[in-house]
Structure 1
Amino acid sequence: METVLVVDDEQGILEALADLLREEGYRVLTASHGREALERMAELRPDLVLTDWMMPVLDGPALIERIRAEPAYKDVSLMGMSAVDVSALRHRYPGMPFLQKPFDIHALMRQVRKALDGKQG
């Protein structure tokens, strides 16, 4: 079973995404900020991290940099989501998919599947 870690400081979005992904057959871990996400990853390495961009404590960019700096996580797929215009983020993080909030559920599920199918290892 593939594991997805969802990171978002908005509880309603976090719960909705977790429920949706569970219904689709994924094991889901949740975290409300980047530091908590790193703690979850230490417990169980996910196949995909789906992270919000603007969060307290440790934001999306800092979380992504920490994950990329850790060799044990080199094969973890990363996906960002944000309410701000994601086109600039796509330029700064080439190859990393981003979802513009609010997003269509079907688009989300396509992106999740694509990210997981493109995993290394």
Structure 2
Amino acid sequence: METVLVVDDEQGILEALADLLREEGYRVVTASHGREALERMTELRPDLVLTDWMMPVLDGPALIGRIRAEPAFQGVALLGMSAVDVSALRRQYPDMPFLQKPFDIGTLLKQVRKALDSRQR
């Protein structure tokens, strides 16, 4: 079973995403900010980190930087999400996929699957 770490400071979004992904058969771990996400990642290595971009404590860019800098986290798939226009984020991080909030369930599930599949190559 693949593990997805969902990181978002908005509790309603966090719970909705976690429930949806569990219904699709993923094991889901949650965190409300980047520092908590890093703590979770040391406890168990997720297959995918689905992270919001703007959060308190440790935001999405800082979290991604820390994940990429840590050799133990190599091979973890990354998927960002933001309510701001993600076209600028895609230019800034061309090797990372982004979801534009709000997104529909089908788009989310397709992007999660695509990110997980790309990790296994």
C-alpha distance in 2 between matches for 1:108 and 1:100: 10
AA paired with 1:41?
Answer: M
Deviations 1:31-66 (A, max 9, x none): 000000000000000000000000000000000000
SS in 2 for 1:118: helix
- Measured after TM superposition, the shift of residue 120 of structure 1 is 4.0
- Counting only pairs closer than 5 Å after superposition, residues 12-91 of structure 1 correspond to structure 2 as 12-91=12-91
- Measured after TM superposition, the shift of residue 5 of structure 1 is 0.2
Over 2 Å off, 4+ runs: none
C-alpha distance in 2 between matches for 1:69 and 1:93: 15
AA paired with 2:109?
Answer: M
AA paired with 1:96?
Answer: M
C-alpha distance in 2 between matches for 1:14 and 1:82: 13
AA paired with 2:57?
Answer: V
C-alpha distance in 1 between matches for 2:97 and 2:13: 19
Paired residue total: 121
C-alpha distance in 2 between matches for 1:53 and 1:96: 12
- Measured after TM superposition, the shift of residue 89 of structure 1 is 0.3
Over 3 Å counting, the alpha-carbon distance change for 1:34 and 1:68 in structure 2 is same
Q: Normalising by the residue count of structure 2, what TM-score does the alignment of the two structures yield?
A: 0.98
C-alpha distance in 1 between matches for 2:8 and 2:29: 11
C-alpha distance in 1 between matches for 2:43 and 2:27: 14
Q: Normalising by the residue count of structure 1, what TM-score does the alignment of the two structures yield?
A: 0.98
Structure 2: gaps spanning 5 or more residues: none
AA paired with 2:63?
Answer: L
C-alpha distance in 2 between matches for 1:41 and 1:47: 10
C-alpha distance in 2 between matches for 1:15 and 1:39: 19
Q: Over the residues paired in the alignment, what is the CA RMSD in angstroms? A: 0.8
